[in-house]
Amino acid sequence: MTHPIVELRGVSKHYGEGAARVDAVQSLDLDIHAGTVAGLLGPSGSGKSTVLNLIGAIVDPSAGRIRLDGDAVFDNGWLRTDLRRLRLEKIGFIFQFHNLIPFLTVTENIEVVLHLAGWPKARARQRADELLDYLQVADRAAAMPAQLSGGQAQRVAIARALANRPRIILADEPTAALDSQRAGIVMDLLRQVAVEQGAAVIVVTHDDKIMSRFDVRHTLRDGRLVPS
């Protein structure tokens, strides 16, 4: 089997010290492979979103080792000095609410990520057009976010997450605001991305509608993995 795209070894995260210490994640080992849509499940407060933020280099681990797409990025300290660049290179984020910039068009919402990554304007526009066509919302390219349906807005959010061709897609409750049909469409799109682009997709969810859509399920309780 090939090396995992996401590899965590002994990863922990705590907040506070002494009597006020909270162990959000404890000695976590986790592998996610290319082409896989993985569910990260568990009750509120179990550590799911913390794990997503650790993988996404949003919060600092307290201990452990993290490898992303073959690169060691954390070993009891960050090995990369520019975490913003790390996220731009390797990771796409999708959230429950699309978080599109309201004063930019659909196309511009995708282009802005590429501009931050240093893409030339013409190449960024070409990539945005490709993604909108791929996700079947090319007819909404000039629309503003307020003019989109919930399903269309989430597709645009997925397009934005894919803009820089990341190998890791982190999705936090991406279907919670959608009905069953639109939730199924979003999950089908994420699977398509995983397979066609060799990506590892990790979805944090409480949504019963999509439980059958995962290749693997990882369940957390009190910051530890438990049998699913």
In 111-138, which positions are buried (b, 16+ CB within 10 angstroms) versus exposed (e)? Answer: bbbbeeeebeeeebbebbeebbebbebe
Task: State the pTM of this model.
Answer: 0.86
| C-alpha torsion sign, points 173, 178, 181, 182 | negative
* Structure token digits, residue 163: 């803009």
Q: What pLDDT digit, counting tens, does each position of 67-106 carry?
A: 999 899 999 899 988 898 888 888 988 877 778 889 999 9
Neighbours of 103 (CB within 10 A): 10
Whether residue 14 contacts residue 38, with contact meaning beta carbons closer than 8 Å, is answered with no
Neighbours of 202 (CB within 10 A): 28
> Confidence class of residue 185 from pLDDT cuts 50, 70 and 90?
confident
Sketch out the chain's domains with CATH numbers.
35-48+82-226 (3.40.50.300)
